[in-house]
Amino acid sequence: MRDQAAVMLAAEDTTLVHEAAVTLSQLGMEIVADVDASLLVGHPLHVVQEFAAFIAAKDPVRYSGTLERLTVDPDRRSESNWLNSSRTRRLWLQVPLKQ
């Protein structure tokens, strides 16, 4: 399922991409830890960027540049930004930080 959802992130149908990002974020960090957040951070859909934030926040050393990009995003529709979104916060609290 994870691999199918990851492939769907590149789909042209935004509904499929949205569902794939939501599905991936619900699978848990142990399953999606090897997904590269730095490749997702530039995605045009907000939900995919939230998923990137979820992954990046769990490994802040590896993704320091990605986290910085997420916090200085010029997209004004995300005033609270992805790191503060309720979905990202809820998912982030479910998994311990990588040591």
Tens of pLDDT along 31-49? 888 888 898 888 888 888 8
Q: Give the count of beta carbons closer than 10 Å to the beta carbon of residue 77.
A: 6
Better-predicted residue by pLDDT, 28 or 67? 67
pLDDT of res. 42: 85
Is the CB of residue 66 less than 8 Å from the CB of residue 41?
yes
- Do the Cβ atoms of 55 and 64 come closer than 8 Å? no
How many H helices and E strands in the chain? Answer: 7, 0
Categorize the per-residue pLDDT at 86 as very low, low, confident or very high, splitting at 50, 70 and 90: low
